[in-house]
Amino acid sequence: MDSGPILRAVDLCKDFGGIRAVDRVSFELQKGETLGIIGPNGSGKSTLINLITGFVKPSGGRIFYQGRDITGIAPHKAVMLGMARSFQMPRPFYNMPAYKNLVIPLFSPRTRRLKGGRYGDRDEVAIHLLEDMGFERDSNVPYQPAGVLPHGYVKRLELARCLALEPDLVILDELFSGMSMSEVAGVLPLIERIADEGKTLIMVEHRLRELFRVVDRVIVLNFGRKIAEGAPDVVMANPEVKESYLGSEVEFSA
Amino acid sequence: MNEAGYRRERLDRGIKVRTDDIFALSSYREILYLTLPRLAAIAALLVFPLLKGVTGIYWQNVVLTACTIALLALSWDLLHSVGLVSLGQAIFFGAGAYATGFFSQHFGWPPLVTIPLATAVGAIFCTVLLYPVLRLRGIYFALITFAMPLLLTRVIEATKILGGNVGMSGLPPLSDTPLDLYLIITVMLICVFGFRRLFDTDYGLVLKAIRENDRSVMAAGFDLQWYRTQAVFIAAIPGAFAGAFLTHYYQFAGLPAFSIEYSILPLASAIVGGPGSFSGVALGAFMLVPLSEALRSFGNLRVVIYSIVVVVFIVILPEGVFNYLQRKYYQIERLVPMEEGGNGQRANIAGS
Amino acid sequence: MWVAPPLKGGSNKIMGSDALIYSVLIYGLVNGAVIMLTSLGFSLTFGLSGVANLAHGGIYLLSGCLAWILLNTLGLPFLPAAVITMVLAGLLGAGVYWLVLQRVRGLALSEMIVTFTIGIGILEFLRWAGFVTYDFNLPVIIKGSLTIAGVIVDYQRLLVIGVGVLIAVLLWFFSHHTKIGLALRGMAQDEYTALSVGIDSDWAAALSMALGHMIVAMAAIMILPLGLISINVGYDVLTMVLAVTILGGLESTAGLTLASLILGYATAATGMYLNPQWTQVVYLAAIVLVLALRPSGLLGKFKELEERV
C-alpha cells in the first residue's frame, strides 16, 4: 500500500468568481520527501494548500492521498487521515493559555485514536511539546494567554499545533513570514528534525534560502500554473522562474 | 484612564491567590472565602421553599418562574459559549411543553414519566430542526432560532394539530408546591454546576475553542457540525425540561409556550448576569424575574423594558453583573501614577 | 402572508381554472415584488456594512405607524408625510449606529443581540401604545384597479411592482457603479484595507444603516396600504426576510430577486388553492428544504465566501 506516492494531485483547478487561482496543477510526493512550493504573491500557493487539505473545494482535478481519492474531502477528515497544516495567518485561541491551545489538537479524534492517545495528562503533554518548540518550561510563557504572545511564539505555537496531531504529512503555509532572522534560525532545526524523522513535508515559503536548506524538491507557481519543478538549484536557473521571481531571485543569490 | 498620568491597575487579592491553586487550605477564613459565595446561594435556594408561611405562595411562584427562566438562560449561555446566538429560546421551551402535553393527553402517562420523556424528545426535536443550519455561519443560526417559534406557532394554527389555537388543558399536576419547587431548584443547580464542570474539561475546551476560531478547530480534526450539534442538544435539555415542567405546573400546554417572552427574558437574564459564566446567568434570572413581577401592571411594556436593559448592559457593562462582582471579590483596583521612564516617557522621546 | 389577494380558497368553485391560474401568475408577481421590497433594506445594510439589522421588522412597522400619525393626527398631505417618515427612519438608523452599534462593532454576536432587542422593543412598544386595533391603515397612493386577463389588480399593487424593480435597479447601480457604493462594499469585504485607503468605517456603516432604514420605511409606506397595520406584521417581515435570505443567499441581489419571485409564487399558489394561513408553512418548508438540500442558497454565493475565510 505504501509503495505509491503519499500525495498525488492531478490537474487541480480552482476558480474564484472567474479568476483562475489554481490552473491544472499536477504533482506527486513520495513518502518521506520534503517539497517546497514557491512563487510570487498571488500565484495560488495558499489556495493549493487549501485545496489539498479540504478547506476549499476544487473546481476540477483530483487529489489522491496514499492511493485514496480525497478530492473535496472535509478538512477534519483530512486530519483524520494524517494531514496537518499550519495557517499563513495563525489565529490561536487568544483567550486560552498557550498550553491549552495544544490540548485541543491533543484531544482531537485523530490523536485519541493513535496508540496510547487516550492516556496521560494532556496538559502535561502540551507543556512538553511547547518546551520542545522553545517555550521555556520554567518561565511563564506557556501559561500566558496566547493573545499576548509575541509573533515568533505564535508561529512556534502553530507549528506545535500541527505536530501535536502526530501527522504523516505536515503542510506549513509560510511559517517563516514575519519572523526575524534569529527566530527563523531557532525554528529551522525543528523543521529539519521533522524531515529527519521521516515525516513528509510540504512548505510554502518566500524565504528561499532557509527553505532550500530543508527541501529536496521545489514547485514554482505563477498565475496559478506550475512553471517549473525540480531540485532547488536547477529550478532557480530556469529563465522563466527567474523572470517571474525576479525580486526574490536577487535575494537568493545574495 | 480617568486622570491623565495615571493608569488603572488590577491586582489579585492575596487571599484569592492563596486559595486559587493551593489545595491545602490553611484557615477557615480561606475556606470560607472560597466556598461561602456558592454555599450561601445554594443554602438560600434550599431553605426558601420551607419558608412558605413567611413568604406566601406568590413569592414561591416567583422563585419557581425564576428557576425556569434561569434554565432557559443557562441553555442560551451554553450556546453562546459555542458561538451560537439563540434569539428564540422559546423553541426549546415550546418543544418541551408540547411534547409533555402530547404524551399526557394522548397516552395519559403521569408527569413523572412525561417530563423526562418530553425533555429527551423535545431536545431531540430541536436538535434535528436546527441541525441543517449548523453548517452555516452564526447569523443564520440566530435568524432561524428567531423565526422558528413564530413559524411553529403559525404551523400549529394552520394545521390545527396539538390542540391548534386552543392548546391542551387539564393536564395532570405534579404534586404540591414545595416538592415542585425543590425539583426545579435541584435541576437548576445541577445545570449551573454541571455546565461549569463540563466547560472545565477538555471537551468543554473544544466547545469554547469553536467560538474563538472555528477554522483552527477544524484544522485540529474536529467535525464542527457534529460538535455544534452536541452543544445544541445539551443546551436543549434544560430548555425542554423547563417547558415540560411549567406545563405540568400550570396544567396547560398551548401557543403561549412559543411566546416572545420566553425568548427575550432568558436573553436579557444572560446579558445582565454576565454571559460566559453559568452562575452569572442564573443570577441574572433571579434579578430580572422579580423585577418583571414588580412591573406586571405595565403589561407589554415589560418587554420594552427588558430590551432597554439589554441594550444598556451591552453598551455600558458588557461583562455583566456577576463578572463585575466577581472581579471586585477577587481583585483590588487602583490608579497608579505612570512612572518616569515608563511608556509615557518613551512616547515623548519618540515624539521629539 | 398579509397581502392576501382579495379572493380566498373557497372561491375556486366560482372562478374557472383558467382565471385561477392567471390570478396565481399575477399575484405571484405582486407577492414577489412585496417580498423583495421588504427584504431590500435588510440586504442592503448587510451587504454594505455587514450589520445584520434584526430590528428590520420593528423599523418597518414603526415607519408605518409614523406615517399614520403624520397623516391622521397631524393631517399632513401624503407626499410630505412619506418623505418625513423616510427621513426620520433614516435618522433613527444612523442614531442607533452612533449610540449603540458603534460600541459593539466587530462583535458579531453582540451586534445581533442589540439589533434584535431594539426591534423587539419597538414592536412591543407599539403593541403597548395601542397599534393593535383595526383602525390603523394607510391610504393607497393611487385608487382604482384594472383587469388583466380576467383578474382584478389594483393600481397600488402594480405600483409596488414598479417601485420594487426600480429600487432594486437603483441600488444595484448605486453599489456597483458609484464611488460611495463601491467604497461601502469595499468596507464590507475588508475593513482594514478600506480604512487604509481612507474610507471612514463608522461613517460608512452609519450611512448604510440609514439607507437601509429609509428603504424599509419606503417599503412600509408602499405595502402597508394593502393590508392592516398589526404587530404580527412586524414579526412576519423578519420571517420573510429570513426565508428570502436563506433561499437566495445574503449578499447577492440576483439571489434576492429570484428567491422573492419563488416565494411570491409559492405563497400566491398556497393562498389560492389552500388557505392564506398556510403561507407561513410555505416559508418554513422553504427554509427547511433549502437548508437540507442546498445550504448555500440557490445561487450558492456565500459558500464561496465562507470557504475563503
B252 to chain C nearest CA, in Å?
24
| Cα–Cα distance for residue pair A229/A82, rounded to 1 Å | 25
Contacts of residue B140 in chain C, CB cutoff 8 Å?
246
DSSP A82: T
With H, G, I as helix, E, B as strand and everything else as coil, classify residue A176: coil
B203 to chain A nearest CA, in Å?
8
Largest Cα–Cα distance of chain C, in whole Å?
66
- Phi/psi for C55 (5° steps) reads -80, 5
B117: how many CB neighbours lie within 10 A of its CB?
A: 17
Q: What is the mean pLDDT of residues C43-59?
A: 84
Contacts of residue C304 in chain B, CB cutoff 8 Å?
none
Instruction: Indicate whether A179 belongs to any domain.
Output: yes
* A55 in C contact zone (CB under 8 Å): yes
| Cα–Cα distance for residue pair B109/B115, rounded to 1 Å | 10
Residue B341 has pLDDT above 80, yes or no: no
| Cα–Cα distance for residue pair A117/A109, rounded to 1 Å | 9
- Of the candidates A175, A155, A221, A89, the one whose C-alpha atom is nearest the C-alpha of residue C308 is A89
Contacts of residue A16 in chain C, CB cutoff 8 Å?
304, 308
Q: What is each CA distance from C282 to B158, C24, C29, C224, C275, in whole angstroms?
A: 11, 15, 16, 21, 11
- Print the domain residue range for A220: 7-253
pLDDT, averaged per 10 consecutive residues of chain A (254 residues), comes to 78 83 89 89 86 88 90 89 88 89 90 78 88 83 88 89 90 87 86 88 88 89 88 85 64 44
| Cα–Cα distance for residue pair C83/C217, rounded to 1 Å | 9
**Do the Cβ atoms of C163 and C218 come closer than 8 Å?**
yes
- Phi/psi for B336 (5° steps) reads -120, 140
| Cα–Cα distance for residue pair C87/C92, rounded to 1 Å | 9
- Grid cell of A160 as nine digits: 506545535
**Confidence (pLDDT) at C112:** 87
Cross-chain residue pair B205–A100, CB shorter than 8 Å: yes
First to last CA, chain B: 24
**Confidence (pLDDT) at B284:** 94
Instruction: Indicate whether A225 belongs to any domain.
Output: yes
| Closest chain B residue to A88, measured at CA | B216
Q: What is the mean pLDDT of residues B49-76?
A: 89
Q: Which of C304, C305, C306 to mutate to test the interface with A (most CBs of A within 10 A)?
A: C304
- Of the candidates C24, C272, C268, the one whose C-alpha atom is nearest the C-alpha of residue C148 is C24
Q: What is the mean pLDDT of residues C164-178?
A: 83
Contacts of residue A49 in chain B, CB cutoff 8 Å?
none
Instruction: Indicate whether B348 belongs to any domain.
Output: no
pLDDT exceeding 70 applies to what percent of chain A?
Answer: 94
With H, G, I as helix, E, B as strand and everything else as coil, classify residue A35: strand
Rounded to the nearest 5 degrees, what angle is found at the Cα of B243, between the Cα atoms of B239 and B245?
115
Give the model's confidence band at B76: pLDDT under 50 very low, under 70 low, under 90 confident, else very high: very high
Question: What number of C-beta contacts closer than 8 Å exist between A and C?
Answer: 8
Cross-chain residue pair C307–A17, CB shorter than 8 Å: no
The number of distinct structural domains making up chain A is: 1
Residue B211 has pLDDT above 80, yes or no: yes
C293 to chain A nearest CA, in Å?
18
DSSP C161: H
| Closest chain A residue to B224, measured at CA | A76
Cross-chain residue pair C304–A55, CB shorter than 8 Å: no
Region of C199 on the Ramachandran plot (φ > 0 left; ψ -120 to 50 alpha; else beta): beta
pLDDT exceeding 70 applies to what percent of chain C?
Answer: 82
| Cα–Cα distance for residue pair B151/C285, rounded to 1 Å | 10
| Cα–Cα distance for residue pair C181/C187, rounded to 1 Å | 10
Angle between helices C56-68 and C17-49 (to 10 degrees): 110
B222 to chain A nearest CA, in Å?
5
**Starting at the edge strand that comes first in sequence, how are the strands of the sheet with A7-16 ordered?**
A19-29, A7-16, A60-65, A68-69
Q: What is each CA distance from A225 to A12, A40, A202, A217, C153, in whole angstroms?
A: 10, 12, 18, 17, 58
Instruction: Indicate whether B350 belongs to any domain.
Output: no
| Cα–Cα distance for residue pair C67/C76, rounded to 1 Å | 9
Q: What is each CA distance from C256 to B162, B344, C30, C259, C263, in whole angstroms?
A: 35, 53, 15, 5, 10
Residue C249 has pLDDT above 80, yes or no: no
- Print the domain residue range for B63: 6-19+26-342
Q: What is the ipTM of this complex?
A: 0.85
B132 to chain A nearest CA, in Å?
16
| Cα–Cα distance for residue pair B152/C11, rounded to 1 Å | 28
- Of the candidates B246, B272, B223, B340, the one whose C-alpha atom is nearest the C-alpha of residue B76 is B272
Region of B251 on the Ramachandran plot (φ > 0 left; ψ -120 to 50 alpha; else beta): left
Cross-chain residue pair C277–B157, CB shorter than 8 Å: yes
DSSP C102: G
- Grid cell of A144 as nine digits: 500566558
CA atoms within 13 A on the CB side of A90: 30
Amino acid letter at C114? V
Instruction: Indicate whether A2 belongs to any domain.
Output: no
**Confidence (pLDDT) at C27:** 83
Instruction: Check which CATH number belongs to the domain holding A92 and give it.
Output: 3.40.50.300
Q: What is the mean pLDDT of residues B224-228?
A: 91
Q: What is the mean pLDDT of residues B85-89?
A: 90
Q: What is the mean pLDDT of residues B85-105?
A: 93
* C304 in B contact zone (CB under 8 Å): no
Residue B17 has pLDDT above 90, yes or no: no
- Of the candidates A91, A61, A64, the one whose C-alpha atom is nearest the C-alpha of residue A78 is A64
Radius of gyration of chain B (CA): 23
- Phi/psi for A173 (5° steps) reads -100, 105
With H, G, I as helix, E, B as strand and everything else as coil, classify residue A134: coil
* C306 in B contact zone (CB under 8 Å): yes
Cross-strand partners of A84: A170
Cα A241 from chain centroid?
A: 22
C16: how many CB neighbours lie within 10 A of its CB?
A: 10
More confident residue, B137 or C183: C183
What subunits make at least 3 CB pairs under 8 angstroms with A? B, C
B242 to chain C nearest CA, in Å?
23
* A16 in C contact zone (CB under 8 Å): yes
B314 to chain C nearest CA, in Å?
7
Among A55, A76, A92, the residue with its CB nearest the CB of B221 is: A76
Contacts of residue B152 in chain C, CB cutoff 8 Å?
284
Instruction: Indicate whether A1 belongs to any domain.
Output: no
Instruction: Indicate whether B349 belongs to any domain.
Output: no
* A8 in B contact zone (CB under 8 Å): no
Residue that has been written with the C-alpha cell 412591573 in this structure: B295
Amino acid letter at B240? A
- Grid cell of C65 as nine digits: 405607524
Contacts of residue A55 in chain C, CB cutoff 8 Å?
307
More confident residue, C136 or B173: B173
| Closest chain B residue to A164, measured at CA | B220
Residue B123 has pLDDT above 90, yes or no: yes
For chain A, helix, strand, coil in percent to 5 are: 40, 25, 35
Q: Which long-range contacts (CB under 8 A, 24 or more apart) does B287-294 make?
A: B287/B321, B288/B69, B289/B62, B289/B65, B289/B66, B289/B69, B289/B265, B290/B62, B290/B66, B292/B265, B293/B62, B293/B65
The number of distinct structural domains making up chain B is: 1
* B220 in A contact zone (CB under 8 Å): yes
| Closest chain B residue to A53, measured at CA | B219
DSSP C142: S
**Confidence (pLDDT) at A1:** 47
Give the model's confidence band at B349: pLDDT under 50 very low, under 70 low, under 90 confident, else very high: very low
Residue that has been written with the C-alpha cell 400546554 in this structure: B253
| Cα–Cα distance for residue pair A191/A205, rounded to 1 Å | 13
| Closest chain C residue to A57, measured at CA | C307
| Closest chain B residue to C241, measured at CA | B143
**Do the Cβ atoms of B123 and B240 come closer than 8 Å?**
yes
Contacts of residue A79 in chain B, CB cutoff 8 Å?
219-221
B312: how many CB neighbours lie within 10 A of its CB?
A: 13
Cross-chain residue pair C308–A16, CB shorter than 8 Å: yes
- Of the candidates B243, B269, B267, B241, the one whose C-alpha atom is nearest the C-alpha of residue B255 is B243
**Confidence (pLDDT) at C11:** 42
Domain ranges of chain C: 33-248
Among B135, B139, B144, the residue with its CB nearest the CB of C112 is: B139
Among A53, A95, A165, the residue with its CB nearest the CB of B220 is: A165
* C235 in B contact zone (CB under 8 Å): yes
Amino acid letter at B329? Y
First to last CA, chain C: 37
**Confidence (pLDDT) at C136:** 67
Residue B277 has pLDDT above 50, yes or no: yes
C193 to chain B nearest CA, in Å?
22
- Phi/psi for B2 (5° steps) reads -75, -55
Residue C186 has pLDDT above 80, yes or no: no
DSSP C73: I
**Do the Cβ atoms of A10 and A62 come closer than 8 Å?**
yes
Residue C12 has pLDDT above 50, yes or no: no
Amino acid letter at C204? A
Give the model's confidence band at C300: pLDDT under 50 very low, under 70 low, under 90 confident, else very high: low
Give the model's confidence band at B247: pLDDT under 50 very low, under 70 low, under 90 confident, else very high: very high
Cross-chain residue pair C114–B267, CB shorter than 8 Å: no
Instruction: Indicate whether B347 belongs to any domain.
Output: no
C291 to chain A nearest CA, in Å?
18
Q: What is the mean pLDDT of residues C140-147?
A: 72
- Phi/psi for C68 (5° steps) reads -60, -45
Give the model's confidence band at B71: pLDDT under 50 very low, under 70 low, under 90 confident, else very high: very high
Q: What is the 3-state secondary structure (H, E, C) of chain B?
A: CCCCCEEEEEEECHHHHHHHCCCCCCCHHHHHHHHHHHHHHHHHHHHHHHHHHHHHHHHHHHHHHHHHHHHHHHHHHHHHHCCCCCCCCHHHHHHHHHHHHHHHHHHCCCHHHHHHHHHHHHHHHHHHHHHHHHHCCHHHHHHHHHHHHHHHHHHHHHHCHHHCCCCEECCCCCCCHHHHHHHHHHHHHHHHHHHHHHHHCHHHHHHHHHHHCHHHHHHCCCCHHHHHHHHHHHHHHHHHHHHHHHHHHHCEECHHHHCCHHHHHHHHHHHHHCCCCHHHHHHHHHHHHHHHHHCHHHCCHHHHHHHHHHHHHHHHCCCHHHHHHHHHHHEEEEEEECCCCCHHHHHHHHHC
Give the model's confidence band at B1: pLDDT under 50 very low, under 70 low, under 90 confident, else very high: very low
Cross-chain residue pair C112–B311, CB shorter than 8 Å: no
* B200 in A contact zone (CB under 8 Å): no
| Cα–Cα distance for residue pair B48/B46, rounded to 1 Å | 6
